[in-house]
Amino acid sequence: MKFYNRDHDYYMQFALKEAEKAWEAGEIPVGAVIIHEGEIIGKGFNQREMLKDPTAHAEMIAISSAAENLGDWRLENCTLYVTLEPCPMCTGAILNARIPKVVFGAYDDEAGMCGSVENLCDQNLLNHKSIIVGGILEEQCEILLKSFFSKVRNQPRD
């Protein structure tokens, strides 16, 4: 079942702007925003290379930012928008933060844990679940990622 509304396109545009910041920084272009009561309370873009931190994914940075803004680690009335389907680490953080809804753009057939490889957000073994909406502005999100990797592959090696 797909829970689609026009707001998804609107908020995904903000996540795409974050992804563009990642591109400009030489990072894989993934961006994320967290919405609470119609406002962006957290945002982030991939910064693994910049920070030399394997956990510096867009979602992780957005979750930390949102928790700081709310003054609570529980993000129970929030929605996460991210340009690429979350990986296992990010999905674990989403569940730990109690984020009830995740909306993503491009599917990740290699590491996606919100439906592509597995859906960790809908496991009866866990104490929390998240509603997943995938494929929002999928083409725009994919084009950004594919363009980045094409550029990287075509750069001369030192």
Residues acting as catalytic residues: 59
Percent of the chain that is helix, strand, coil (3-state, to 5): 40, 20, 40
Q: What is the DSSP letter of 121?
A: G
Q: What is the DSSP letter of 73?
A: S
d(CA 1, CA 113): 17
Question: How many CA atoms, within 13 angstroms, populate the side-chain half-sphere of residue 37?
Answer: 1
Q: For residue 129, which amino acid is it?
A: K
Tokens describing residue 141: 């999100």
